[in-house]
Structure 1
Amino acid sequence: MAVRFWELYEETKEQFRLKIAAGKAGMDTVVSWVHMLEDETIVSRFHGEELAITTGMKADQPGWLLKLVQEMAKDECAGIIINTGMYLQGIPQEVLDWCEIHNFPLLEMPWEMSITELIQAYCMRIIDQKQFEKKIGNAFREVIQGRYAQEDIRQVLGEKYDIEGNFQVFCISVKKTIGDELDYNQAIIKLENLFGLWKGNDKINASYGLIRMEDFLVLILNNRKDKQHMELPRLIMQSFSHFAKEKCFHLGIGPGINHIENLSFSYKRARTAMKMSIGTGKEMIHFDEMGFFKILFSIDDTNLLTSYANEILGPLEEYDEAHGSSYVSTLKSYIKNDRSLMRVAEETFTHRNTVNYRIQNIKRILGCDLSDMDELFPYQVAFYIRDMNKKSI
């Protein structure tokens, strides 16, 4: 939803007599802010996706402009507008060639056009877009919380999205510190850039929304196609690669739904998948592939789950603590290996007769024969819960 360079260009090209000199293919990038730039040293202070405007005051220094655009591209800036006619009569061919090869947008604006007015126009456009995004975000929050019926919400979202089309929700969790905030914001911008390029390459009409919740990010895709369903998770992970490398990125993918009134359905399931992703340490989980864990991770009252596991496994744990045995782990292996004494013996490096002896004692302690899946199921669920709790710490 962020403002892209080509949008700013199309809206103001006649007013400021702008001309694309090179790098047109890179103009689908997000513009986060606009700066006047006459000294290349301040580029290192940029946060990413800034657009710069220069008169080229230092253009008399050989290679200055080429070095400037190279540094800007290295720091992932959005592009540059050069105000020609005073200090710089024309843009050096080597600069044009480099920008064209590297898809770095370079626009030219005549000297008589006001840089101040252009910066004001662009910054106001970015601020207005941020206000609009906030409005969209608030409306989406209402919808995913089940309050779609309000007319004003339908009207706001209907301006940008096909509310009768299909939707899918992705929940992104990043465990970050205060010091990671800049990297986090840059990752979000990268996602918007990659999404924009992906959208442009496929020439589709899909729309998307990004919502910042308290401790995670929600991506909503409207009118996705099958190819996008396969590509988007990869793009998300690519955008947050810094956090993925640190093992602190987790993605939950909800099922596709029709009509925006069902959006809360996909959101709740995407959030459930995200919780499992965090709990298991996996980078990405699809809700539709969660199996029985759909139920466990959908329960918000984790204390209830813990209490159930303690109640089921309590007698064995008390026995292990009193006698120094390992009956709890033996039972877990017994269930895992489909009650095969031989496989339990192999897994635990224990003689088969010893395993049989332990299982008989376990049955006596629990007062249960463990003879079929109906009797084993409560203990299997208890172990699932314990695994969830361990991996969530």
Structure 2
Amino acid sequence: MSFTLKHFYQQSKEKYKLKFITPSVALNHKITWIHLLEDINNCSFIRGGELIITTGLNAGKEDLLFDLASKIYASGASGLILNVGNYIHHIPDSLISWCSQHDFPLFTMPWEIHIADLMQDYCNQIISEERTQERRNSALLQCLTSENDTAFQTLCPDFASGCAVASDHELSIDCYAFVLYETTYYYLCSDIDGFIFDRHCGVSNLTEAPLHLSLILKQAYRSMQVSKIKNTEVSFFKDIGLYYAALAIDDLDVLYQAERLLSPLQDEDIRSTFRLYLEYHGSVQATAQALFLHRNTVNYRIQKARRLLQTYSAEKELEYLFSFYLCDCLKLKELDLLTP
């Protein structure tokens, strides 16, 4: 969990007499480092996320100050502090307007404040946070590789509650800890309210016990697999139902047996209607409404499916439904084998 401009501004604006002069800009930009920059030609050294401080030593003219701001913005800086009073006496309205339009935070700090004090303060906090994050990530990795949840509780006693998120690609979300294990990204989050999930994400149940972390990591992974099966942005563990059991089966013979059981249903309309009928607990009305079909059409397809299956009986309905889930899992395994 990296620091944002909001964190630093709120905790040190009085201490360093900082003024935020682009109030319409959000302060959610992440800070990776603090950098003093006077020469516009050194902007190439910005790697992204730095908070830049300048005294305006080499940017005395209005257009040069504007050029410096636009160049560091293009280089990926998170914000700019103008150290005013010696070289910078006036902040052009055009610069403030430009920063506001480009969502680029702009601050001022008086000349009497020692830049070195602010830089040392901020950099120490960033280094400390990076070490804390490394410890959390290492503890989370242990939960994935050894199911040693007691280690996590020892290394991260401040973790109270949260849920796990799994994804087949990297996410930009606030999290307590994260790790890439094999081909899956895992995130431990204290809160996911307001998160905008991308494709193929899985979310576990909430846990308030660190001793259950291995369990919710599995829940998140299974939920991500369901998201891939259904090609959705996110699947929540509380909603995946029989998939949790189906995805736990690694025996390919079992999966192929499910495929053989349903093989008589070659017609896609018959197959999909019969599956939906089972998922709606045998309700013809609900199935018809979901498919925007007349009840008679649904009844015809159900009867056709029953005849094709031959061994159909009410007692076997759960077996057929579970077989559909197993076939989904088989397709997922085959897809994963084909994916480089």
Q: How much does 1:257 deviate? A: 2.7
State how far apart, in whole Å, the 2-side matches of 1:310 and 1:45 are.
Answer: 57
Q: How much does 1:133 deviate? A: 0.5
Q: What is the SS of the residue equivalent to 2:149?
A: coil
1:79-94 map, 5 Å: 79-94=79-94
Q: What is the SS of the residue equivalent to 2:150?
A: coil
Contact 2:262 2:320 in 1 (8 A): no
State how far apart, in whole Å, the 2-side matches of 1:331 and 1:53 are.
Answer: 64
**Partner residue, 2:233:** 283
Q: Letter of the 2:55 partner, please give it.
A: T
Which residue of the other structure, out of 305, 330, 333, is the alignment partner of 2:270?
A: 333
Q: How much does 1:27 deviate? A: 3.6
Q: How much does 1:265 deviate? A: 3.0
Contact 1:274 1:284 in 2 (8 A): yes
Q: What is the SS of the residue equivalent to 1:60?
A: coil
Q: How much does 1:168 deviate? A: 2.0
State how far apart, in whole Å, the 1-side matches of 2:97 and 2:41 are.
Answer: 23
Q: How much does 1:272 deviate? A: 0.9
State how far apart, in whole Å, the 1-side matches of 2:150 and 2:255 are.
Answer: 40
**Partner residue, 2:179:** 212
Which residue of the other structure, out of 254, 270, 273, is the alignment partner of 2:220?
A: 270
Q: How much does 1:313 deviate? A: 4.3
Contact 1:18 1:107 in 2 (8 A): no
State how far apart, in whole Å, the 1-side matches of 2:184 and 2:259 are.
Answer: 34
TM-score calculated relative to the size of structure 2: 0.72
Q: How much does 1:332 deviate? A: 8.8
State how far apart, in whole Å, the 2-side matches of 1:8 and 1:345 are.
Answer: 65
Give yes or no for the alignment of 1:23 onto 2:54.
no
State how far apart, in whole Å, the 2-side matches of 1:272 and 1:10 are.
Answer: 40
Contact 1:56 1:83 in 2 (8 A): yes
Contact 2:55 2:87 in 1 (8 A): yes
Q: How much does 1:273 deviate? A: 0.2
State how far apart, in whole Å, the 1-side matches of 2:211 and 2:332 are.
Answer: 34
1:354-393 map, 5 Å: 369-391=310-332, 393=335
Q: How much does 1:14 deviate? A: 7.3
State how far apart, in whole Å, the 2-side matches of 1:287 and 1:112 are.
Answer: 56
Give yes or no for the alignment of 1:307 onto 2:306.
no
Contact 1:9 1:18 in 2 (8 A): no
1:202-281 map, 5 Å: 208-214=175-181, 215-222=183-190, 224=191, 229=193, 231-232=194-195, 234=196, 237=197, 244=198, 249-281=199-231
What 5-or-longer segments of structure 1 have no aligned partner? 175-183, 193-207, 238-243, 318-326, 364-368
- Of Structure 1 and Structure 2, the greater helix share is in 1
Deviation sequence 1:320-370 (CA, Å, 0-9, x none): xxxxxxx45149935843599x858987xxxx9xx69xx76x56xxxxx42
Give yes or no for the alignment of 1:64 onto 2:64.
yes
Q: What is the SS of the residue equivalent to 1:257?
A: coil
State how far apart, in whole Å, the 2-side matches of 1:291 and 1:315 are.
Answer: 21
Q: How much does 1:211 deviate? A: 0.8
Contact 1:83 1:111 in 2 (8 A): yes
**Partner residue, 1:172:** 167
Give yes or no for the alignment of 1:149 onto 2:150.
yes
Q: Letter of the 1:382 partner, please give it.
A: S
Contact 1:22 1:104 in 2 (8 A): no
State how far apart, in whole Å, the 2-side matches of 1:329 and 1:103 are.
Answer: 55
Q: What is the SS of the residue equivalent to 2:187?
A: strand
| Change in 2 beyond 3 A, CA 1:309/1:28 | closer
State how far apart, in whole Å, the 2-side matches of 1:3 and 1:93 are.
Answer: 29
**Partner residue, 2:122:** 122
Q: How much does 1:44 deviate? A: 7.1
Q: How much does 1:120 deviate? A: 5.0
State how far apart, in whole Å, the 2-side matches of 1:96 and 1:331 are.
Answer: 61
| Change in 2 beyond 3 A, CA 1:277/1:335 | closer
TM-score calculated relative to the size of structure 1: 0.64
| Change in 2 beyond 3 A, CA 1:374/1:45 | farther
Q: How much does 1:380 deviate? A: 4.2
Q: How much does 1:130 deviate? A: 0.9
Q: How much does 1:134 deviate? A: 0.7
Q: How much does 1:54 deviate? A: 1.6
Q: What is the SS of the residue equivalent to 2:88?
A: coil
State how far apart, in whole Å, the 1-side matches of 2:80 and 2:3 are.
Answer: 16
**Partner residue, 1:203:** none
